[in-house]
Amino acid sequence: MEIHVNRRLDVCTSVYLAGMGLVLVIERHDVDRGTTTVHARNGTLLGEFTLPAPLDAALVDAARAYPGVTPIVPIDPSQPIWRDVPVVTVRAMPATPATANA
C-alpha cells in the first residue's frame, strides 16, 4: 500500500501503474477547480468530476485507467487555500519464497 499526500498549489498528476487507487477528500478550503480526471492507459480523458465535500471519494482500477487532478485556484485570494486529498494505492505484492506457499 502506498499513501501520497500533496498539500501544494501546483498539484501534479499522478499515474499509478498497477493496483487500485482510492482518491479521498479530507478537506477543501477556498478552492476552485481541483477537478479529478480519469484517463485511459493511452492518455485519453475518460471523464472528470469534482469531489467537493469531505469523504467524497473515487476508486480507480489502475490496470484500466489512472487518476489525475487539475491545479487548484483560490476563490478568495486573500484567504488561505488547501485541498487535502490523500491517494491510496493498493496492489498485490509479488510472491516471495516465504509467501508463495502460504
Distance, CA of 102 to chain centre: 32
Cα separation, 76 vs 56, whole angstroms: 23
Residues contacting 1, CB < 8 A, separation 6+ = 88, 89, 90
CB atoms inside a 10 Å sphere around CB 22: 17
Query: Quick one: cell of 6?
Result: 500533496
Cα separation, 95 vs 67, whole angstroms: 27
pTM above 0.85, yes or no: no
Instruction: Show me where the domains of the chain are located.
Output: 2-92
**Per-residue pLDDT in tens (0 to 9) along the chain, 102 residues:** 455 555 444 444 444 445 567 778 888 999 998 888 888 888 899 999 998 899 998 888 877 887 788 888 899 999 999 888 777 777 777 777 765 665
**2-92: CATH superfamily:** q2cbj1_9rhob like domain (2.60.120.620)
